[in-house]
Amino acid sequence: MMGFVMPRCATCGNDYDKAFTVVTAAGDRHTFDAFECAIHALAPRCAHCGVPISGHGIESADAIFCCAHCASEQGVHGAADRV
């Protein structure tokens, strides 16, 4: 196809014909070639270890944690990964 410009991933820079665009609640548009790149760029980070949180996480006050261990390390009481 002449003149076709493939979308470029905002995280890794890869140009890929199956890229997708994510529109945030604030209206920002981001193009990615993989969910991994989208998670790296957009996911909240654990307040203790810094890992990107791709699941529900554990919220306490104004912080979010990837697991109960990290929450408890930051002084959150009662967090449990399993009940």
Residue-wise pLDDT tens digits, 26-82: 999 999 999 999 999 999 999 999 999 999 999 998 999 999 999 999 999 988 887
Mean pLDDT of 13-27: 92
| Matching residue, tokens 């991994």 | 36
Sign of CA dihedral 32, 21, 30, 51: negative
pTM: 0.79
Residue 2 has what pLDDT? 60
- CB 2: neighbour CB atoms within 10 A? 3
- What number of other Cβ atoms are within 10 A of residue 81's Cβ? 10
Contact 34, 17 (CB under 8 A): no
CA distance 31 to 14: 10
Q: What residue segments make up the domains of the chain, in order of their start?
A: 8-42, 44-83
